[in-house]
Structure 1
Amino acid sequence: MFSIIIPLYNKAPYIQRAIGSILNQEFEDYEIIVINDGSADGSEELVAEKYGSTIRLYHQENSGVSVARNRGIQEAKHPWIVFLDADDFWHPLYLTFVEKTISENPDVGIIGTHYDSNKLSLNPELKYYVLKNYFKRAIRNTYFFTSATVVKKEFFEYKPSFDPQLKLGEDIDVWLRASLFFGDGIYIQNTLVYYSQDDVERATSKTYKLEETLIPKLFKENYYHQSIDKSTCSQDTFIAFRDKWVLFNLYPIVHDEKINMFLSQISNKYFLVKGFYYFPALFANATFRSFFRNYMKFCFRYIYK
């Protein structure tokens, strides 16, 4: 039922924990696909020696996580694609709860699960809800995180997979396009995924240029039209989502001079947030940045809701 894809790049201290959490699943109808992305720390030898034919191990030159995930999708044999990063791990009931959610909602195409970096759920009862009007509620939280997301393989058979040109937001790009393709997804409230913050080399700790992020891609005219299928989200609703999401996520790269190109395309009705971006010197202060994020949350929760 599930094809589980793990990109592997220099994660020797963590990979056994990740694979072990799969082998410890209550639900057993799955395959494990590990894509070794040019590891240089012996990760691939460790996996091959310890797990052998239990997994399907493929090798490629270091090409990035998107290429690795896309290779895994190409090799997948099952109708549901499940992602797990090599330094994260799952609760033993993760696949059981996902399978039950699918059986109760056969038309769903994308499922997210709550995750945490401290502890997993002790609640043995499945709890979930439909993400109704997804693009009206996903401004501050897109709900989907790579190690806690399951997508029907049908999406990847009809639409582009992970974009190798993106170094930040390549996963969110897929979640947004899959939500336009399938319609509103489902969110499992149980904390079933452990999100590791042990590895200081995680992508979220790095700095990227504006063109390496999802933001420019969202402003392409064909983004909505090439993605929309079963979703009832209108183009106006998507554009409103895009504008607010970009405003909420643009501030870490505010030093980039190219941001004015995108600010000019965002509606002026969001002036209470948009206006701050024309004063970049203010963002040099870390205290102000913290204030600004809380200020944006207030604006999008109570003023621009």
Structure 2
Amino acid sequence: MQQEIISIIIPCFNDAEYIEQAINSALVQSWPKKEVIVVDDGSHTDTKIKLKSLEPRINRLITQENKGVSAARNEGIKVAKGEYILVLDSDDYFEPKFCEKAIDVLLKDTDVKLVTCYSNWFSKGNNKLFKPSGGQLEDILLKNIAMGSSMFRKSDWKAVGGYDEIMLKGFEDWEFYIRLLKNGGYAYVIPEMLFNYRNKQNSRNKKANLAMYAIKEYIYNKHAELYKEHFSLFIHEWLKSTKKNEAFKQQVMDSVDYKIGNKLLKPLRALGMFKKK
């Protein structure tokens, strides 16, 4: 049987320090038939120099003006030879067995549209195991259920129109996965730590969280019909989250520290030095 090609797409924007580790993790994947495509998304000179030095080791280096990670991923996937696509951010890296295990899932079950895995979230001196939940459309309408670096079929990417290039502030992977699962199928989680996510101070994930509500509003409006179809589920989860937040707020207000602080500030508020929010 002819072995399938896996195309590993690595967008890169000003990641000279980490890009080599990302590329190495792609090159050492145990699945033998693969290609590595790096898309330079308008990086500065130091990253361009680094990429030029790494170019002989990869299959293709694409250079474009800065258009954002969605456009960079789309550009790489367009020229990919493989039917199976793995996207990888340039500051993260996979363990060597991920491709082999992920493609095995996709080859065995056509209902699987997306394969992700347990992840090691790491920063200086800190490591945390993160377990994405996986699931189907009803699950992903509420939250992202897979890592941004995951594997899917190129035919499915093409069928849903690729990544949304308007989304420049983050969560573009979540929105893309909603469309992948819109007409059925599910996201499968390999129950092993096979991915390493670098939790940087200025990571795209943290920047996205700062703009979370504006991005969510865009996603909810874009997929308004889907959310209307699942209105009861959406409202139930929203109220459950609100209830949880209110319970936490009450717990803080009932704490001894809060009560002492409130008493200490009371005379200062009377003088107009502090206002109660």
Partners of 1:89 and 1:109 lie apart in 2 by 22
Which residue of 229, 253, 267 corresponds with 1:236? 229
Partners of 2:223 and 2:108 lie apart in 1 by 36
Structure with higher Rg: it is 2
Q: What's the counterpart of residue 22 of structure 2?
A: 18
Deviations 1:123-158 (A, max 9, x none): xxxxxxx955x24444775321112x1111112222
Q: Is 1:208 aligned to 2:231, yes or no?
A: no
Structure 1 stretch displaced more, 136-145 or 65-74: 136-145
Q: What's the counterpart of residue 101 of structure 1?
A: 105
> Where does the alignment leave 5 or more consecutive residues of structure 2 unmatched?
254-277
Q: TM-score, normalised by structure 1?
A: 0.67
Which residue of 181, 184, 187 corresponds with 2:186? 184
Partners of 1:13 and 1:240 lie apart in 2 by 47
What is the identity, as a one-letter code, of the residue corresponding to 2:163? F
What is the identity, as a one-letter code, of the residue corresponding to 2:41? D
Q: Could you tell me how far 1:114 is from its partner in structure 2?
A: 1.5
Would you say the 8 A contact 1:139–1:241 is kept in 2? no
Which residue of 30, 35, 39 corresponds with 2:39? 35
Q: Could you tell me how far 1:2 is from its partner in structure 2?
A: 1.2
Root-mean-square deviation over aligned CA pairs: 3.4
Match of 2:218, SS state, is helix
Distance 1:74 1:275, change over 3 A: same
Q: Is 1:195 aligned to 2:197, yes or no?
A: yes
Which residue of 242, 245, 251 corresponds with 1:273? 242
Distance 1:42 1:165, change over 3 A: same
Would you say the 8 A contact 1:116–1:191 is kept in 2? yes
Q: What's the counterpart of residue 78 of structure 2?
A: 74
Which aligned pairs between 1:1-305 and structure 2 lie closer than 5 A? 1-52=5-56, 54-118=58-122, 134-138=136-140, 142-147=144-149, 149-166=150-167, 167-197=169-199, 199-206=200-207, 207-208=210-211, 210-211=213-214, 213-220=215-222, 224=226, 236-237=229-230, 239-243=231-235, 247=238, 270=239, 273=242
Q: What's the counterpart of residue 297 of structure 1?
A: none
Q: TM-score, normalised by structure 2?
A: 0.73
> Where does the alignment leave 5 or more consecutive residues of structure 1 unmatched?
122-129, 225-233, 248-269, 289-305
What is the identity, as a one-letter code, of the residue corresponding to 2:195? V
